[in-house]
Amino acid sequence: QEISGGYCFFKGEIIPLADANVNITTHALNYGTGCFEGIRAYWNPDQGQLYMLKGLEHYRRLHRSCRILKIDCPYSAEELLDITVRVLQKNGYREDVYIRPLAFKAAQVIKVTLSGLRDEIAIFTVPMGDYVKTEGLSVVVSNWLRVADNIIPSRAKVTGAYINPALASDAAAADGYDEAIMLSADGQVSEASSANLFVVRDGTLVTTPVTADILEGVTRRAVITLARDLGIPYEIRNIDRTELYVADEMFLAGTGAQIAAITSVDRRPVGDGEVGPITRRLQEIYFRAVRGYEDAYRDWLTPVYG
């Protein structure tokens, strides 16, 4: 279903989405020279409140992506958060929402460069439930490798770089899998097509380091925080492909994916093929926290109304 209706932020103003258009000569459309974010806001029906999740962290990452791409973002992370709150209020959502900030080279010129080009910032929002199912995912180790940091910077959320996960997830779907796990060029596990990866081995949670060509995920950090607070031992280290075959549990962590339990990899069951206890525990607390039911994690949330 195509996105339509409502209001967005474009060229410094909140305007109808229908009026937020770019010219076909736009640099970012031709060369993929933009960066973006994906943020969720969760509706809490009991409180009549919409909570934006970790908005500042996402906008700080957008700033880092902009630095890497030499995009001039005239707004501070706090200002972008305020603008987003105003867009959400204007749309008046009473349901879960996905927020898409976009910073791109708006110049209408033909030149393969990052310098001397006019930039534009836009934010649009769209109602969204689960992006993938949150349990029982079957994944495949893709033969598409994850873009390396010195090919297209992995820690920047670069628009054009999403051809890489799109190839992987499209191939995975064509073969009947829910998601693709990508290896880095040196053969280590990197991450999924649009989420970071965690495994559990002998009661220890393991995720790949930021040097494994991953996107520095906001949800990944949230999971590490939860593990620390719950006393679950965790390690941040490289993961070999065959560790996926002997892991007790495995899950995706991402804004879209949320915490999504993987129960098979390359058609082999993960652990006993059921959602494991550590994944279950992390999911339970995460899904409560994002809707404002966990006081300890209220600082993750920005209330949109009142």
Q: Which residues bind ligand PMP (CB under 6 A)?
A: 38, 165, 191, 194-196, 215, 217-220, 254-255
Quote the least distance from Cβ 14 to ligand PMP, whole Å.
Answer: 24
Amino acid at 129: G
| DSSP per-residue string spanning 107-166 | -------SSS--EEEEEEEEE---SS-SS-EEEEE-SSPPPPTTTS-TTS-BTGGGHHHH
> For 264, phi and psi rounded to 5 degrees?
-150, 145
91 vs 169, which CB is nearer to ligand PMP? 169
The phi, psi pair for 2, rounded to 5°, reads -80, 150
Indicate the residue among 151 and 246 with the shorter CB distance to ligand PMP. 151
Nearest Cα residue to 151 out of 139, 142, 160, 143:
160
- Looking at beta carbons only, is 106 or 168 nearer to ligand PMP? 168
Q: How far is the CB of 184 from ligand PMP (least distance, A)?
A: 12
In angstroms, give the least distance from the CB of 233 to ligand PMP. Answer: 22
Catalytic residues: 157
HSE of 82, CA atoms in CB hemisphere, 13 A: 7
State the minimum distance, in angstroms, from the CB of residue 96 to ligand PMP: 15
Helix 277-289 to helix 218-230 angle (10° resolution) is 110
Of 60 and 86, which has the nearer Cβ to ligand PMP? 60
- Give me 152's structure tokens: 């297209």
